[in-house]
Amino acid sequence: MSNENLYAEVRFHLAPGVNYGKWQIKIIRNGKKVHIHYIDPNSVQLELVNCKLINKVNKAKKVNAAGVKDVSGWIKCDDFITRGSFWPLEPIDNSLEKLYYNPIKDIHWRRESDACEFDWDNSEYATLITSGKQVYILEERE
């Protein structure tokens, strides 16, 4: 997805139905949704390239206050690879730092190592990788 007007928005899908608990990948071209993929987190890994952590803070505050799920954050990426069929799985070990986002508990993106001292909203990464329902930093942006 090399076109600058083409990107993906990735988030965990929590709406009831057949795609509950899957990764949702929206393909956006020129500001319009052109396709949606749903991927079982237990069958593949997602490798996300040139990423930015998006958070709509005002919406996250409403989610937090009400304790009710709603879309307020996602990962924007220029490209993605599904690993597990053609591409081999990337090993996940203790050297990779985990990212967290759950606006019911905390209105910002967090990193495992920061003890909630910083918000990581709008931070950018060269490569992120999923393992199950978790997202890890594979490569920092230089």
Each residue of 17-66: pLDDT tens digit? 999 999 999 999 999 999 999 999 999 999 999 999 999 999 999 999 99
Residue 88 is given by DSSP the state P
pLDDT tens for each residue of 78-90: 999 999 877 888 8
Q: What is the pLDDT of residue 73?
A: 95
Q: Which strands sit side by side in the sheet containing 6-12, from one edge to the other? A: 32-39, 23-29, 6-12, 73-83, 45-55, 124-131, 134-140, 97-102, 106-111
